[in-house]
Structure 1
Amino acid sequence: MARSHRELTVWRKGLDLACKVYELTRKMPKEEMYRMSGQIIRCSASIPANVAEGNARGTRRDYAHFVSIARGSAAELETFLLIIKRLGLAPDSDVDDLLAQSEEVGRMLTALRSSLSPNP
């Protein structure tokens, strides 16, 4: 395990993703601030937060659990981004970029989760 979550590429990319989601919400209609915007901000911030919390835990099992939660948040974010795109609430190019980033982070989380599993 990494000594600090800050050493993890997946944490840094998750943090970048969360910041870009914040930027996207600024482009969305104001009436969405307490609806869709709040949802995607929470689930995007949850990704690096859960990686950090899991890394700080004492066991691989706990770490794997929090990485699984982060994976769930990444899937949730992807779903919200697709809804935003379908409803035309933000520019398609911005949403597409975030979808690509969230897919990359999701793959990285899956790999991290696999690396934490005990070998059979």
Structure 2
Amino acid sequence: MINLSHKKLDVWKLSIQLTAIIYEITLGFPKHELYGLTSQLRRASVSIPSNIAEGAARKSAKERCRFYEIARSSLVEVDTQLEIAQKLNYLSDKELIKVENKLEHIFAMLSNLIKNT
């Protein structure tokens, strides 16, 4: 792997951790959700660090900001899908608490990054 600037961003590192947690959590989802909620959650979580990385590689502040906004939108998507998973009893309160703090922290960091870009 190449050493690029986005890898130095704490928000990127945390979003990678979040993605790993999402993959771990979704292992316990019902098999019939493999192409539904499981897939959607995983894709949305992968989108977060991917868009942070892509934004960091852009030259203009406007382009960087747009990708950071997309990353934040994907984070909100993950939050919504986790709420749905909890309502369907696919996710325990303990698992949700484990991920909620990380979601809030990443959201705040992305909002700061957008504001200061």
TM-score tier, shorter chain, comes to: over 0.9
Q: Distance between the aligned counterparts of 1:91 and 1:72, measured in 2?
A: 24
1:19 correspondence with 2:20: yes
CA distance in 2, matches of 1:59, 1:16: 28
Counterpart for residue 45 of structure 1: 46
Residue ranges of structure 1 left out of the alignment (5+ in a row) = none
Map of 2:74 onto structure 1: 73
Deviation of 1:92 (Å): 2.0
Q: How many Å separate the matches in 1 of 2:34 and 2:79?
A: 18
Residue 83 of structure 2 is matched in structure 1 by 82
Question: 1:93 matched to which residue of 2?
Answer: 94
Q: CA separation in 2, counterparts of 1:39 and 1:15?
A: 17
Cα deviation digits, residues 26-65 of structure 1 (max 9, x gap): 0111111111000000111100000000000111111000
Structure 1 consecutive aligned stretches of length 4 or more whose deviation exceeds 4 Å: none
RMSD: 1.0
> Can you give the 5+ residue segments of structure 2 that lack an aligned partner in the other structure?
none
Taking the aligned partners of 1:24 and 1:89, their CA distance within structure 2 comes to: 9
TM-score by length of 2: 0.93
Q: Sequence identity of aligned pairs in percent? A: 35
Moved more, 41-50 or 96-105: 96-105
